[in-house]
Structure formats: structure tokens, C-alpha cells
Chain A
Amino acid sequence: MNLLAVATPPDPLIELDGLRKSYNLGLPNETEVLHGLSFRIGRGEFAALIGPSGSGKSTLLNIVGLLERMTGGSYRIEGEEVNGLDDAALTLRRRSTLGFVFQFHHLLPAFSSLENVTLPALMREGRITPAQRERARAVLAAVGLGDAMGKRPGELSGGMQQRVAIARALVLEPPLVLADEPTGNLDTASSDEVFALMRRMHAELNTSFLVVTHDPRLAARCDRVLELVDGRLVHDGAVSGPAK
């Protein structure tokens, strides 16, 4: 993999300084899994987070996604320090800033594709306006699922489900989408298709992406790669080489 060092982004969306995470804090078996990580991700960046299993990628992604709390350091989103915010404030921040795409699609099986995509709006305002419904339809059409809006996740292929998940992550146009192995459960063709879709949406909406992946092929198609080994950032650089 060809990696080049990159400069700090001029307009940082998230900024991590000396981030630490320990489990069993204060107990004899306390274990630190992230050891003082510092990096920034700017608006409109498309970054990959790679590393071997157990290196702390998912933990880092959960902390960046405000699903887990860090135990040390600083984490700012759009300039606001989020370390120390209470659960309600973190949830509101997550709702306004972040979109999620998980490895196993994680759609609600009882809801249709369209309902899954309108959930974030429904959750935020308690109802769905016609404009929001139209927006959800447009996003689903944009990810190539114009004909599958009424179908439930169980009636869709893995690739299609992941596209619904991407549509759900993007429907409220969050500044940052976090994707945890979004293609890890797909065959190569579907995997390429889903990755291409993320790149296209990134280009169209200027949304930042932080994608956890094991696949060096996909990592090579990102603008920037962060490599984590044993809870330490061992590399942070731009990608050069094959076309994206």
C-alpha cells in the first residue's frame, strides 16, 4: 500500500487529542486499549481506518460515534468538547452530526426500506413531513432502491440492505458518516458496488466518511488511511496509486 503523510485538515470536523480508552477502570485487571490517539478529520474527507483484529478499530469508531465514552484525552466535534457531556447531550449530538453504517446492515426488520430511512426524521420530530418523505424516497432512489421502498430488510439481498443503511445514514445529511466494515459481509461484486455508492454520495453531498475496513483493496480507494496497531496510530497518510 502506498501511503503519504498528509497535513492537518484546514477545517477540522472532529479533533481527537491524546484519546485514551481503558476497560475495567480502577480494577486490578484494568486494560488500556487505546493509547493516546490524536488525529483530525476535516469536512469532506473520505478516510479509512485499518488495522488487525483487536487493534481497537471498533472501540475507536464507537468513541468517535459517541456510543462509548473515552477515559482520557480530548474529543471535539465542530469545535465542541464532547468528553463529559451527559447521555442526552451525546445523543442529540450523535443525532445531529453522525450517520452510521454497520457491518450487518442493522436495519429494523419490522420496518420497510422507506420506513427505515425515515426513522431518523421521525425520531427527531415525532412525525414525518411530506418533504421528509420525499427526501427519503429521493435518497433511496439515489442508492438504486427506487423499486424496493416498500420491501422489508428480509426481502432484500445483503448488498441492497447495506444500500438502505447508507440511505438511512445520509438522509438527514450529517457532516460525518461512520461505517464499520460496511462491506465485510458482502461478496466482492456487492462490496464494490456499495463502496462505489459511498464514494458517489461523498462526492455529491460532501459528507465526511470514516470507514473501518479489513479490505486493503477498499482502503486503497480512500483519500486517507489511518492505521491502528495495538491501540496506537502507526500511520496516518494519503493514498496514492490505483484509481479510486
Chain B
Amino acid sequence: MLGFESRVATRFLREGRMQTVLIIVGVAAGVAVIAYISALISGLQRNTIEKTLGAQAHLTLSPRDDVVLAARSASPGTSEMVQTQPRAQRPRSIGNWELLVPLLEAMPEVAAVSPMVSAAGLAVRGEASKAIALVGVDLDRYDRIVGLRSKVVDGTARLGPGEGIIGRDLADDLGVRVGDRVGIVTGGVSDSLRVTALVDLGVRELNRRTVIVPLRTAQSLVGLPGGATSLDLTLVDIWSAQTLADDLAARWPYKAESWQQANAQLVAALNAQSVSTALIRGVVLVVVVLGIASVLVVSVVQKRREIGILRAIGATQGQVLRIFLLQGAIVGALGSALGVLLAVVLIWAFTHFVRGVDGLPLFNITLAPVLALRVAAIATVCGVLAAVAPARRAAKLDPAQAIRM
């Protein structure tokens, strides 16, 4: 199939060697830029999201805010002038949270659920005291949410009665090491914990404030026996968080906040980045298409006589059309293959030579095979599309005139 067309197309390309090499290199450069930028941006976004969600739930369920209700409803036909003071929010438990956990775990979108009691407090050691965010959790469940054990920088993550895990910057501020005791004060209640591990949660502010204690300890410190102030969820697909949050908020009388809502600015920045990347990719593709088209237009002019000969000895218009479409496809495919290789080299160079202040790679980027294949396929299709106009022109050449050239 296409034996004649492919033979002539490859021979034409080989004949115009320098032109062919230049356009293949041009396509390769375009494909490399597209593949590299796509991999870089997706690596950067993945890294940013991983860092952001490394110490966060994908979705958090908590009680709705306390609101002040009017003492009585207005009588029909009357209007009332009421001034209300917003109520100060106090720690409250999610009603029936023990029943909610298995219901949430049964959802296909949900990977893990962890009850939590959180409150503000003070950590005290000697004369030093620091404001803290107290987090009471079940260690195994919480580990599935934020991968706590992998963030331990000293000691062993363990949350037995009277034990706690603290952020490493807080440990520095208080002069605490693994095995030391720290006093915790919330409201009028205080307790003392033995530090079992120091963790690095990836964000300095969190490292400076986080104190993780057993759920039961937090319940008694906050004054919510048997309660949980929130349920943290990890999802199979992080991008389903908003949909699920809307769905849960509509179905249940709880506040459901997705990680996107909690990080609205970040999401806006990521979206802007994605749009910019798409624009760059679009512009590069247009340049690639124009490059291929211009070379093939020149080729049609140069090959007028050959086209005339082929038509005279029996080539159909369709065959001539396919010869030039194939040239576009071949140039696109070869350029794509070379471009993907070039992108791999660029990515390797980035991961090996671009380092952060700590000497470690800034973040990992890889060229996913699916992305490479997609970029290559798009470039090849663009090669064919770029060839359409020159190919039509070649097919419509008047053979008698072309031969006279």
C-alpha cells in the first residue's frame, strides 16, 4: 500500500537533503520545546501540589460555623431592625463522626479518612512558650493522609498515651530533643508530653507550630471527649476534590472544604501557568506547521517538472497529493522522534545541573511516555496538515505546462 507514493516521497526528501535536514531539525526543536516545557510545567505543578498537600488533606469535613439566629421570626407584615454580633467560633465536634468514617471510606473516590481534633494552644518548656497548632490524630490513619512517618527527621513516630510529635523548628525554638518533655496548654487545661519524633512538614510555619498528639489526649485538652473537630480525607484523584466537596456539602449538614478552596491563590497560579504553557505550545506548533509548509511549497516549485513527468506517465492527482502528504508525515514523524530524544536530553540536563541552595535537584521532571507519544503524534498530524496546501497545489499542476518548465 502506498508503495509508489512512499518510494517517491522518500526519494524527493533524500534528494533535497539540506532542506530536509533543516526542516526535520526545525520540527525536532519545536517538539523538544513542547515536550520539555510540558514536562517541566507538569513537574513543577506536581511538585508544588505535592509540597502543598504534603501536610494537608485533600478534603476536610467540619461542623458548620455557629451562627446567631434571631430570637423569633418576624411577624408577617412587619419588619424588624436587628443587629447581631457574629458568634466567636469554639471547637465543636462533628456529630456522629464515628458513623461517618466507614461511610466515607466506602466511597470509591476516597483513599483514606482520618478524624482529627485541632485547636490552638501553647507549648511550654522552662521559661519558653510558643503558640502552637495542636493536632490530635490516630497515627496510622493520619499517616495515610499526610505520610507523617516519611517526614520524621529524628526519633520514631509513635503516639502512645502521653506522647507527642512536634515540628522540628518548634523543637529548635523550645530547645527540645527526642525524649524530652513539653508542656501543652489549651484554654484552662494543661498536659505534659514526651517527644517521640521531630518532623519536617515541608513548610517552615507548620514546622514552627505543629504539635501532634493522640486523638484522646487532644479530646481531653480541648474539652471534646469522644469528639472530632474535623475529618480529613485523602482522595484517589486530587482533582475530584472540589466536586466531592460540593456533593458532600449538599448531602450532609457539614462544611466540606476542598484543597483547591483552601489554596485558591495557588490554584489560580497553577491555572495561569497551564494557560501560558498551552499558549506557548500553540505558538510553537504554528511555527512548526508553517516551517513544514514553507519547505514543501518550495519543494513543489522545485519539483514541478518531476510532478509533470509523473502525471504524464500515469500518476493520478491522488497519487501526487499523497506523495506530498507523506513527505509532511515523514518530516513530522522523524522530527518528532528526534525532538523527543532532545527533550529527554534537556530534562536530564535540568535534573542534573539545576540545583537548589541545598544542592539537591529543584524538583524531579520526567517525560511520561504518554506525553511523548502524544506530542509526537500531534507533530506528525501537524506535518500532514502542513502538507495539505502544497500537496493540493502539486496535484493540480497542469502536467503539460509542468513538463515544459
From known contacts A106-B305, A110-B15, A126-B2, infer whether A120 and B313 are also in contact, taking CB-CB under 8 Å.
Answer: yes
A90–chain B nearest beta-carbon distance, Å: 10
> Is B7 engaged at the interface, CB distance under 8 Å to the other chain?
yes
> Are B309 and A122 neighbours in the complex by a CB distance under 8 Å?
no
B350 interfacial by beta-carbon distance below 8 Å: no
Contacting pair A122 B306 (CB below 8 A) = no
- CB-based contact A91/B1 at 8 Å: no
The 5 closest A-B pairs by CB, nearest first: A95-B314, A126-B3, A67-B400, A110-B15, A110-B11
Q: Of the candidates B306, B313, B398, which one forms a contact with A100 in the assembled complex, judged by CB atoms under 8 Å apart?
A: B313
Whole-angstrom CA separation of A92 from B3 in the bound complex:
18
User: CA of A108 to CA of B307 in the docked complex: distance in angstroms?
Assistant: 9
Which listed segment binds A: B64-72, B198-206, B315-323, B360-368? B315-323
A128 to B7, CA, bound (A): 11
With both chains docked as a complex, state the minimum distance between the C-beta of B19 and any C-beta of chain A, in angstroms.
13
- With the chains together, A100 CA to B311 CA distance in Å? 11
* B403: interface (CB < 8 Å): yes
**Measured CA separation A216–B309 after assembly (Å):** 28
Contact A110 B14 (CB under 8 A): yes
Chain A 108-138 near chain B by CB (<8 Å), digits 1 or 0: 1111000000011011111110000000000
Over the window 52-92 of chain A, the binary record of Cβ atoms lying under 8 Å from chain B Cβ atoms (1 yes, 0 no) is 00000000001001011000000000000000000110011
Secondary structure call for the B interface: helix
In the bound complex, what is the Cα–Cα distance between A126 and B314 (angstroms)? 13
Q: Which residues of A contact B314 (CB under 8 A)?
A: 91-92, 94-95, 120, 123-124
Chain B residues within 8 Å of A107, by CB: 309
Contact of A67 among B1, B11, B306, B399 (CB under 8 A): B399
- List of B residues within 8 angstroms of A109 by Cβ: 15, 306
Contact of B3 among A99, A127, A168 (CB under 8 A): A127
B239: interface (CB < 8 Å):
no
Is B275 interfacial (CB 8 A cutoff)? no
16 contacts between A and B (CB under 8 A): A62-B400, A67-B311, A67-B312, A68-B400, A91-B317, A99-B313, A102-B403, A106-B305, A106-B309, A106-B312, A108-B8, A110-B11, A110-B12, A123-B310, A126-B3, A128-B3
Chain A residues lying within 8 Å of B12, measured Cβ to Cβ, are: 110
> 8 Å CB contacts to B: which residues of A181-228?
none
Q: A106-B305, A123-B4, A126-B4 are known contacts. Are A88 and B400 too (CB-CB below 8 A)?
A: no
In the bound complex, how far is the Cα of B402 from the Cα of A100, in angstroms?
A: 15
Complex formed: what's the CA distance from A13 to B31 in Å? 57
Tell me the number of A-to-B contacts counted with CB atoms below 8 Å.
Answer: 73
List residues of B whose CB falls within 8 A of some A CB. 1-4, 7-8, 11-12, 14-15, 305-306, 308-319, 398-400, 403
Nearest Cβ distance between residue B13 and chain A, in whole angstroms?
10
Of B308, B311, B313, B398, the contact of A119 (CB 8 Å cutoff): B313
* Count class of interface residues, chain A: 20 to 34
Contact A106 B317 (CB under 8 A): no
Q: B315: which A residues are within 8 A, CB to CB?
A: 91, 123
Q: Is the CB of A91 within 8 A of B311?
A: yes
CB distance from B121 to the nearest CB of A (A): 82
Name the residue on A nearest B399 (C-beta).
Answer: A67
Contact B316 A88 (CB under 8 A): yes
CB–CB A123/B319 < 8 A: yes
A67 to B312 CA separation, bound complex (whole angstroms): 7
Contact B7 A122 (CB under 8 A): yes
Contacts of A68 in B (CB 8 A): 398, 400
Set of chain A residues within 8 Å of B400, measured between Cβ atoms: 62, 67-68
Cβ of A123: which chain B residues have Cβ within 8 Å of it? Answer: 4, 310, 313-315, 319
Which residues of the other chain, A, contact B8 by a CB distance below 8 angstroms? 108
Q: In the complex the two chains form, is A126's CB within 8 Å of B312's CB?
A: no
- In the assembled complex, the Cα of A65 lies from the Cα of B399 at a distance in Å of 11
Query: How far in angstroms is the closest Cβ of chain B from A106?
Result: 5
CB distance from B18 to the nearest CB of A (A): 14
Q: Which residues of A contact B11 (CB under 8 A)?
A: 108, 110-111
Q: Kindly list chain A residues whose C-beta atoms are within 8 Å of the C-beta of B403.
A: 67, 102, 106
A139, B319: Cα distance in complex, Å = 26
